[in-house]
Structure 1
């Protein structure tokens, strides 16, 4: 972990921040439809979709030293350090060759948010917040139950609680800076995407 590593980190941070990528944080409770809408945004607007959870899972499967450490932390119910997740996000951003990113399910809390800006020197363009009632999210999760063992009612309610307690401060922080684009996610997929499109379409194209 010596100074050589630190110097290398500075290099990658510099190059990524210098490219001035467009980063959009995508937040919403479990079942708010984030994944579906992210897929639509990728298709229509050429963004690269990065899910913090997927990157952590892929790293665990890779069998790397980092992966084993992540696995053990998750097993013990601990939260993976922000730096670890951020490094995975950075690496994925650099390897994608793109300059427009949807970062999904991150930052999960205020500490994540501060660390992301410090480590990457990148501030998000805005936060896309899928606002959906707890009843509706519950209904969706229970009806989709794709064999995910975490889709039972107790676990779902726990996940809502964690989302509210940890993510709301992040949303409030960006709200105070005028950077939150809130979407009513309780509507049908097509309607929600119309609202999403309006946010991502450059102003000059809207007049056409």
Structure 2
């Protein structure tokens, strides 16, 4: 009987999603590094921005037009929509470990996450890709020129996005820093050099 209880307990513990937040300015290389982490460490990559864009493109979505307006203006989509999409994606994946990219991005996001999702998951850490705005801007403009298909990869939208990041997202990083959950990475380096930093952080945390 005790063995059976232990087995059920292990199954229950295993079902609790383990989450790593991935934060940094536009063009800091979050998406590229998330792909590397998925490849080498077996995480599922959930980009809040990608989930919102997919929902925006869904002709049957009740939120599509609203999301489009927020993204075009460089504003942050209401948290209840984003949390709903993240929860749905985690449930549908059937997996255990998740990289949540680009979230939480402001105080409203943080409060919504803490209210709706935090008690259902284990937050392992926050990967903070720290990169100067000048480098991020150049990367985003090059990405747009190469045909990224993103309506916000232009100078006007980038100015709004960087302002939003500085004013609203940096305080969230500071919040988690006080909880000793932030792992800062120098994202101004080459992708390979940045990933070496990432591997060191994840290996030190026994997340092989």
Q: Decide: shared fold, TM above 0.5.
A: yes
C-alpha separation between the residues in 2 aligned to 1:204 and 1:33? Answer: 23
Structure 2: gaps spanning 5 or more residues: 1-11
Query: C-alpha separation between the residues in 2 aligned to 1:70 and 1:177?
Result: 35
The equivalent of 1:127 in structure 2 is 126
Deviations 1:58-112 (A, max 9, x none): 2233333xx2334235326574321111111011101111110000111111111
- Asked whether 1:45 is paired with 2:47, we answer no
Which of 192, 197, 200 aligns to 1:190? It is 192
Moved more, 128-137 or 112-121: 112-121
2:8 is matched with: none
Normalised to the residue count of structure 1, the TM-score between the two structures is 0.82
Say if 2:96 is the partner of 1:99: yes
Which residue in 2 is equivalent to 1:83? 80
Q: Is the 8 A contact 1:74 1:80 kept in 2?
A: no
1:58 aligns with 2:60: no
Q: Is the 8 A contact 1:33 1:185 kept in 2?
A: yes
CA contact (8 A) 2:58 2:64 kept: no
Aligned counterparts of 2:80 and 2:21: Cα–Cα separation in 1: 17
Output one character per residue of 1:168-188: Cα deviation in whole Å (capped at 9) or x when no partner.
111011000000001000001
Q: How many residues align?
A: 190
1:175 paired to 2:177: yes
Give the TM-score, by structure 2 length: 0.82
1:145-156 equivalent positions in 2, closer than 5 A: 145=144, 146-147=146-147, 148-156=150-158
Query: Helix, strand or coil for the counterpart of 2:62?
Result: helix
- 1-side partners of 2:206 and 2:43: how far apart? 19
Q: Which residue in 2 is equivalent to 1:163?
A: 165
C-alpha deviation, 1:50, in angstroms: 0.4
Instruction: Using the TM superposition, give the Cα deviation of residue 152 of structure 1 relative to its aligned residue in structure 2, in angstroms.
Output: 2.8
1:139 partnered with 2:135: no
Q: 1:80 to 1:140 in 2, by over 3 A?
A: closer
C-alpha distance in structure 2 between counterparts of 1:119 and 1:158, whole Å: 28
Indicate conservation of the 8 Å contact 2:22/2:103, yes or no: yes
Unaligned runs of 5+ in 1: 1-15
Contact 2:14–2:96, Cα closer than 8 Å, also in 1: no
CA distance in 2, matches of 1:86, 1:31: 23
CA contact 1:51–1:105 (8 Å) conserved in 2: yes
